[in-house]
Amino acid sequence: MERYYSEVKSGSFSSTGRQGKSLSSGEDNQIVWEAIKMGCAAGISPSLVITHLIPARKSNLDYVKRLNFGTASSFLPCLADSFPEVKPWILAATPSSLSIVRSVIKKTIQYSIKIELRMLIIDLANYLGGVSSHYQVAQKSNSIVNLMVQQLKLR
């Protein structure tokens, strides 16, 4: 925790976690990644059981879509902060505007055929969050992504 705290204080880590209405996250990943870089082990325990109480105000489509967007949009910036050597890979994999539009159209058609429009919104939120995270690492903006994020009310 001290090493993580030091990285935050020095400005090396840009993740702020959830503040206000923002549902971005990532600081928990960065804490684990710092521990791993120090030689500590991390893993999962199938026998571990956690009861997570979710308030009603968080049990709706609007919250879930914003949560998906927030977590997806914060992942790659947190990864690039923790492991700067992956930044070129992230930048090289940044989708073009045409690719983004094609993917959104494809997803829309697939979910429309299945008549699962509620799931489409969640999948689009996750996809656009992932795309947004690429542009955040590049410190650029994409007007098509920004328009879709605004229209779907993901922030």
The percentage of the chain sitting over the pLDDT mark of 90, rounded to a whole number, equals 51
Amino acid at site 50 = I
Helices (H), 51-96: 61-82, 87-92
Greater confidence (14 vs 96) lies with 96
Distance CA 76, CA 136 (A): 8
Greater confidence (25 vs 59) lies with 59
Distances (CA, A) of 20 to 23, 52, 117, 130: 8, 21, 28, 21
**Structure tokens given for 70:** 């927030």
Query: In the predicted model, is pLDDT for residue 52 greater than 90?
Result: no
Mean pLDDT for all residues in the chain:
89
How high is the pLDDT of residue 120? 93
Query: In the predicted model, is pLDDT for residue 20 greater than 80?
Result: no
Q: Quick: pLDDT tens for 77-93.
A: 999 989 999 999 999 99
How high is the pLDDT of residue 19? 64
How high is the pLDDT of residue 16? 63
Query: In the predicted model, is pLDDT for residue 15 greater than 80?
Result: no
Q: Is the dihedral of CA 36, 128, 107, 58 positive or negative?
A: positive
* Other C-beta atoms lying within 10 Å of the C-beta of residue 4: 17
Show the domain range for 8. Answer: 2-151
Q: Based on the structure, what is the number of domains in the chain?
A: 1
DSSP-assigned states of every residue in 91-140: HHTPPPHHHHHHHHHHHHHHHHHHT-HHHHHHHHHHHHHHHHHHHHHTT-
DSSP 57: G
Q: Quick: pLDDT tens for 113-131.
A: 888 888 999 999 999 999 9
